[in-house]
A and B are shown apart, each in its own frame.
Chain A
Amino acid sequence: MKKHELLAPAGDLERLKVAIHYGADAVYIGGPSFGLRANATNFTLDEIKEGVAYAHQYGKKVYVTVNIVMHNQELEALVDYLKALESLKVDAIIVSDPAIIQLAKQETNLEIHLSTQQSTLNKKAVEFFKKQGVTRVVLAREAYKEEIEEILRDVDIEIETFIHGAMCSSFSGRCVLSNYLTARDSNRGGCSQICRWDFDLYDENEKPMAGEKPFTFCTKDLSMLKHLPEMMNMGITSFKIEGRMRSIYYIATVVDTYRKVMDAYIKDPKNYTYQPQLELILRRVANRDSIPQFFNHKNDHECQYYNGRIELSNQDFLGVVLDYKDGMVTLEQRNYFKTGDMVEFFGPHHETFTFQITEIYDEDDQCIDVVRHPKQVVQFSCPYPLEYLDMMRKKTFQ
């Protein structure tokens, strides 16, 4: 079977390490400039260097987004930035503006991936970019299964598709609602997600057309978990998880879940069976419903999300393991928990297990009943061995 890549987002170094620990084959990150998540933490050049070294140590790759739509004033600094990325040994840059492709080809030996911001949906466009030296095309999230198959059949190039995360309601690159409603430039990383806002709908005569819930563009999220083996068989190279601004818990959970499905299918494709309970795990970190969307030509009202501005969040994530020694786990708190709680530990190298916390010690070795302070470091005994970056969550279902 063709080698497949699980590609995870990483908003900062901690998330990069988590993504790799949980089984991502590659991560994509934003640098200090020219990325489409201007308000994410993003990486400094020193942090990119550290992240690349960390990833390469495990045989993993790091791609850097350089996918803003350029304005004149940004062009001047671009060449130096591209050269810096090359010197840091990043594995590829993700680009949407073709002028950057040209500059990168002229000035560096960087590998170039075409961003989904170009909304590429057809084989002729893919052919064009292949001829320009692009080695991978990230297809539009609107691509149907048959279109992806046809592109893969007719053009010899790496194809990357999104498999999980939030969806733009518009074609990528064709929405500037954020610019006009909040003066924040969506194509330069400032998107203020107007498509999640509520509006009032009116007919041609400006008479209200009010339903039970307000009008919105808001879409459900994407989840291709069930279709992953099918997509692997199609020959897609890279499977991308959206969400550079998501938490380490989200990244760990989503990467871990998709990794398990990929590995199970690769190990024994004939006897592989889909495990629907994995959807429950993904649902625990989601704040919206998720469905396959366009892959199966689904594009109707069921793909949209009419729930006002209410988006679910939870306090599921309790802490991250910093160390485990002599039966004691050292854990950094992320949400309130207390002695007597039934909790679950999950990680990439062991089965998820449940146990009850009996005694908790703070950093001064004092016994405490509750852990209420964000990032508070505590210790307690745990009968099962754990490792750095394993995570603890609430036990809420069987």
Chain B
Amino acid sequence: MTKFMVIPTSKNLDRFLGADAFLFGMKDLCINFGTTYTLEEIKAYQKKYPTHDIFISVNKNMRNEDLEHLKEVLIEVETMGVKGIFYYDISVVELKKELNLKTDLVWHQEHLTTNYATCNYWYTFGAIYTCLSNEITISEIKDICKRIHGKVILPVFGYIPMFTSARHVVDNYITQMKLERKEGMHYIKKEGYTYPIVDEKHGTTVYSSFILNSLEELPTLKEEKMDYFLLNSFGIDSLVFEKVLELYKNITKENQRDMMKKFEALKLHTDSGFLYKETIYKVK
């Protein structure tokens, strides 16, 4: 049965306990996660919530200067018995081999996890899981599930990081225009759409204008060979998120109409992303 994994964006996990698994962004080694956590905090959660699977993300583009700390973290994580480590940078794969680490990896190069052959390639290097891209269609997802050697994690709900930069583009603009700095999240708007934009220590992330929502597809997706559905709580009120998680967990083909009605009542700005829409890459 497919489990539910949540990216929490609060240090208080009470609203996320309905999930089967947590994905924590690792402090200093992670980007576009909203909230990041220290190893000590994660260990404390592990102790407090022993039935939850724990995954950790180290998804930043690593520089040489990050490698020593990354190595220390990977060694420490090895002793914690976490289920898997999400990675973007290939140094993680190399270090796993060098240090003979047993913890499974999760290939999560965000927009690049788009075909089964590359999933299977990384599988041979210990990436037992792949977290699939949001830019592929539902039929491509199903096809990957059929042909993949490893396990699949599918993001099904949440704002989607669309742009990750080493630059601090909000701060740069504020500096250049001599504007007053404001705390918290910012937004950019274009042609009626609003996109959350976050400057953080390692750079800037821009998120989709809508919340990806695959609730309607979930009963079908549950029939596929899929290990986790991933829900991202970034930018969503935790009370609302708790309700969403419940709907996702409980939806079936039989109660689908009723559950969709309940979801609509939450009045979230959602979209199905690329589940039914192929991207174009050759403009005639």
Contact = CB atoms under 8 A, between A and B. Distances in A.
B49 interface: no
Contacts of A212: 177
A193 B171 CA distance: 21
B215 interface: no
Nearest to B273: A180
Contacts of B281: 38, 68, 184-185, 188-190
Given A125-B89, A200-B190, A301-B176, A189 B64 contact: no
Interface in B158-197: 160, 162-179, 182-190, 193-195, 197
State the main secondary structure of chain B at its contact with A: mixed
Interface stretch (B18-26, B77-85, B111-119, B251-259): B111-119
Contacts, number: 229
Interface string A179-213: 11101110111100001011111111010010111
B186 A202 contact: yes
Contacts of B189: 199-200, 202
Contact of A197 (B98, B136, B190, B282): B190
B167 A219 contact: yes
A170 B117 contact: no
Interface stretch (A12-20, A116-124, A322-330, A357-365): A116-124
Interface in B51-79: 61-67
Most buried by A among B116, B168, B187: B187
Most buried by B among A70, A179, A204: A179
A175 interface: yes
B91 A122 contact: yes
B221 interface: no
Most buried by B among A99, A175, A215, A304: A215
Given A72-B144, A301-B176, A127 B94 contact: yes
Interface in A346-376: none
Nearest to A97: B118
A206 B163 CA distance: 20
Contacts of A204: 182-186
A300 interface: yes
Interface in B242-282: 274, 277, 279-282
A179 B90 contact: no
Given A122-B89, A217-B163, A202 B188 contact: yes
Nearest to A174: B164
B253 to A, nearest CB: 26
Contact of B282 (A102, A189, A199): A189
B217 interface: no
Interface size class of B (residues with CB under 8 A): 35 or more
Contacts of B67: 122-124
Most buried by A among B67, B93, B120, B172: B172
A124 B94 contact: yes
B227 interface: no
Interface stretch (A83-91, A140-148, A243-251): A140-148
A230 interface: no
A170 B61 CA distance: 11
B41 interface: no
A281 interface: no
A114 to B, nearest CB: 10
A307 to B, nearest CB: 11
Interface in A55-112: 68-75, 96-99, 102-103
Given A170-B164, A174-B110, A204-B182, A183 B187 contact: no
13 contacts: A70-B114, A71-B114, A75-B115, A99-B120, A125-B94, A169-B169, A177-B206, A179-B274, A184-B281, A188-B281, A202-B188, A206-B187, A303-B167
Interface of A: 38-39, 68-75, 96-99, 102-103, 118-125, 127-129, 140, 142, 144, 146-147, 150-151, 169-171, 173-177, 179-181, 183-185, 187-190, 195, 197-204, 206, 209, 211-213, 215-217, 219, 294, 299-301, 303-304, 306
Give the top 6 A-B pairs by smallest Cβ distance, nearest first.
Answer: A211-B177, A190-B281, A204-B184, A124-B91, A185-B279, A188-B281
